[in-house]
Chain A
Amino acid sequence: MRHLRDDEIVDALDGALSESRERHLGSCAACRREVDAAADMTSRAAEVDVPEPSPLFWEHFQARVRLAVDEEPPPLLRASRTWSLRWATTAAVLLVLLVAGWIGRGDVPSAAEPTAAGMGRPVPAWELLERAADESVWDEDVIGFELSPGTTERVLATLSTDERQVLAQLIEAELSQSPR
C-alpha cells in the first residue's frame, strides 16, 4: 500500500485520517515516523512565544495610533463624503441622460460655462456638481458608458433657467436628507 501523502500526514496530526489510511499508518513504520516527526515539530513550534516589549512601549504605541487616527476624518463624515460624491455622480449622469435627446438631434450647444447666475441666487448644489465633474469621480463601470472631457459642462449649458432650478432643488433636497 502507498505511503501517506503530505496532506494525509497533516490529516493524521489532526486526527482526521480516513479509516483505510489509518490502518496503513498503524502498520507502516516509515509513515509513523513521518507523522511523529511532524507532531514533534508542531509542538516545539507551539512553545515559541513572542518577547514582551517594554511596558513603556504600550503607552507610546497607543499615542502613535491616536496621532494617526487624529489625521483621519471621523467615520460618519467619511461615509457622508463618499455618499455625497456618489450621489453627485448619479445626479450628473441622470442629467446627461435627460438632455441626451437634444444631443441626439444634433442640437449640440456650445460649451458655455455653467453658472448659477441664471437662477438669481447662489446654489451650493451646483458647486457640488461641478466639483464632482472637476475631480473626475466618474465611475464608468457604474454609469455604463464613457464620458469625454467637457461633456458635463456642455450638458449643463443646455439647461434652461427653469430646468436648472428644478435640478438644483432636487439636489438640495437629496443633500438635506443625506447622513452627516
Chain B
Amino acid sequence: MSDFETHVSPGSGQFEATGVVPRLADPASWARRATFAELDLAADELLVAAAVEGRREAFDVLVGRHQRRVYRVCYRFAGGHEDASELAQETFLRAYRGLRSFRGSSAVSTWLHRIAVNVCLERARRRPQTCELTDSELNRHAVDAGLDERLDLAAQRRQMRAAIDRLPTRQRAAVLLRVYEGLSHKEIAGMLGSSVGAVKANYCYAMKALRRMLTAGDVG
C-alpha cells in the first residue's frame, strides 16, 4: 500500500487546496526527506511543516498555490497592480516569518487570507484614500440618470470599481470584506476594531455613496 493518500484540505470554502497527506506519525521527519515531487503534491499543512524544517522550496509551493488568491485580495484593497503586487509580497513574507505560529486550527489558505487582509488594512490606515468625496459633494452631483440605459456592462463594472476605490477607508473595508471576502459583520468588526453596528452602518453608507456616485456619473 502506498505511503500516501489523497486528501482535500479542510478550509473555509473560499479555497480548494488539494494535496497528499502522508500516513506518518512524524510529519517533521517526512518534511525533511520529502522529494520535490512529493512536496508539490503535499497538503498545505505539510508544506508549512516542511518550511519550518528549513525546506524553502516547500514555501515556494505554497506561494505558487495561493498567490492568485492573495493577489486578488490585495488588488481589491490597493486598487492597482503595482500596490497589489507589493502587498501580496509583504503578505507572503509575513507568513514566512510567522510559520511557527501556524497551529493548524484553520486552513493555511484562511491563515494567509487573514494575513493579507491585515497587511492591506495596515496600509490603508497609513495611506488613506485621498480622493474621497464628502456627502455634500455626492449630493451636489447626484442626478438619477438611469444607469442601465447609459452604461454597458463592462463600463458599469469599471465605474463600480472606481467608485469603491473612492469610498472612505472604513466604508471601503466593510464592502470589500463583506462582498468579496465573505466575512461576517462580527469578523469585520474584529478586524477593524469597531462594533458590529458601526460595520453595518458603514456598509449601508457605502451602498448609498456608491449609488450616488454612479448615478451622478462622477466616476470612471
Contact = CB atoms under 8 A, between A and B. Distances in A.
Contacts of A76: 52-54, 100
B99 A75 contact: yes
Contacts of A50: 71-72, 75-76
A10 B200 CA distance: 6
The residue in A38, A53, A61 that gathers the most chain B C-beta atoms within 10 A of its C-beta is A61
A29 interface: no
Interface in B138-170: 156-157, 160-161, 164
A99 interface: no
Given A42-B207, A69-B56, A62 B157 contact: no
Interface residues of B, number: 44
A45 interface: yes
Contact of A7 (B60, B68, B156, B201): B201
Contacts, number: 104
A57 B85 CA distance: 9
B114 interface: no
B179 A45 contact: yes
The 10 closest A-B pairs by CB, nearest first: A6-B204, A7-B200, A10-B200, A38-B207, A41-B207, A6-B201, A75-B99, A50-B75, A50-B72, A74-B54
Interface string A61-74: 11011101110101
A37 B179 CA distance: 15
Nearest to A82: B100
B64 interface: yes
Interface of B: 51-54, 56, 59-60, 63-64, 67-68, 71-72, 75-76, 81, 85, 88-89, 92-93, 96-97, 99-100, 156-157, 160-161, 164, 175, 179-180, 185, 197, 200-201, 203-205, 207-208, 210-211
The DSSP consensus for interface residues of chain B is helix
B45 to A, nearest CB: 15
Given A48-B164, A79-B100, A37 B92 contact: no
A49 B60 CA distance: 26
Given A10-B185, A44-B156, A68 B60 contact: no
Contact of B92 (A7, A48, A58, A65): A65
Contacts of A79: 100
A94 B64 CA distance: 48
